[in-house]
């Protein structure tokens, strides 16, 4: 029987198989450790009671604090008031929000991009649901040899181009580098006796450096390579 090697918070609810787990024999974590395949509900456990308490306190605060700061002492509750004593300390970090009369925090570049493109993202999500349903209906007649996986891949490629324009090439290059680095390190581990920690160390290090470089170079702007490439940015439809 396999030994439960879970540590820390993962002992609560999650079993994470290691790299040597045989997928053909692994069905459920309960069967793996010789337990009953029907475990008791955790909704009434102390763990989930703590989650519920945190949710009941933190989430209302996340709503109330921004409203209070943006409302100030004004009697017009739907308008941003400049009467708040700290308003001018953070006013430069605010932008027009999607709720009329409300400002939103735009200090974080990634969150700002997300907030400013919520309508486009909602339209994209709705388009996927519609197209996916339509593909399921017409596939037996129009595309009998096509699979749902092929549809998802095609939609995701189109989504990258629509959202990021020419930036999709940069995203594809980063994904390709990740794949190549992972494959190379796994071959070293299996064929040349390299330590098992090599792959996660290399992948985490590479992606961590990419994140810092992305922040430092502000998204790898093409004009930093050559000024003539700056015109390609105009082909980005939604995201930069």
Tens of pLDDT, residue by residue over 100-109, are 777 777 787 7
Q: Decide: 99 and 93 in contact? Cβ < 8 Å.
A: no
Name every residue whose Cβ is closer than 8 Å to that of residue 186 and which is 6 or more positions away in sequence: 199
3-state secondary structure at position 219:
coil
Read out DSSP for 102-147?
-EEE--SHHHHHHHHTHHHHHHHHHHHHHHHHHHHHHHHHH-TT--
- Spatial contact of 81 and 72, defined as CB atoms under 8 Å apart: yes
Q: What is the DSSP letter of 75?
A: S
Mean of per-residue pLDDT scores for the chain: 76
Of 206, 157, 160, which Cα lies nearest the Cα of 181?
206
**CA atoms within a 13 Å half-sphere pointing along the CA-CB vector of 85:** 0
Q: Which two tokens stand for residue 188?
A: 């070293």
Task: Please give the structure tokens belonging to residue 86.
Answer: 């700290």
Cβ neighbour number for residue 21 with a 10 Å cutoff: 13
3-state secondary structure of 205: helix
Distances in whole angstroms, Cα of residue 199 to Cα of each of 19, 113, 176, 182: 12, 32, 16, 6
Direct distance between the N- and C-terminal alpha carbons of the chain, in angstroms, rounded to an integer: 52
Q: What is the pLDDT of residue 70?
A: 61
Tokens 């050559």 locate to: 226
Mean pLDDT in each 10-residue stretch from start to end of the chain (240 residues)?
Answer: 54 56 50 55 87 95 78 46 70 77 76 79 90 91 87 89 80 92 88 81 93 78 70 54
Domain limits of the chain?
A: 1-39, 46-107, 118-235
């Amino acid at each position: 029987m396999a030994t439960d090697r879970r540590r820390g918070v993962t002992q609560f609810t999650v079993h994470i198989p290691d790299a040597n787990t045989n997928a053909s024999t692994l069905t459920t974590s309960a069967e793996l450790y010789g337990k009953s395949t029907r475990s008791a509900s955790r909704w009434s456990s102390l763990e989930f009671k703590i989650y519920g308490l945190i949710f009941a306190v933190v989430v209302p605060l996340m709503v109330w604090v921004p409203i209070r700061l943006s409302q100030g002492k004004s009697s017009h509750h739907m308008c941003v008031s400049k009467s708040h004593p700290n308003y001018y300390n953070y006013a430069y970090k605010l932008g027009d929000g999607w709720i009329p009369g409300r400002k939103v925090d735009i200090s974080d570049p990634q969150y700002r991009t997300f907030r400013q493109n919520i309508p486009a993202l909602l339209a994209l999500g709705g388009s996927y649901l519609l197209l996916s349903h339509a593909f399921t209906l017409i596939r037996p007649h129009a595309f009998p040899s096509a699979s749902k996986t092929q549809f998802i891949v095609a939609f995701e490629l189109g989504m990258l181009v629509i959202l990021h324009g020419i930036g999709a090439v940069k995203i594809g290059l980063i994904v390709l580098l990740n794949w190549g680095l992972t494959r190379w390190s796994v071959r070293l581990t299996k064929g040349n006796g390299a330590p098992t920690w090599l792959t996660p160390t290399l992948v985490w290090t590479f992606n961590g450096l990419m994140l810092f470089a992305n922040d430092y170079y502000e998204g790898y702007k093409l004009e930093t390579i050559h000024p003539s490439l700056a015109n390609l940015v105009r082909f980005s439809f939604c995201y930069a």
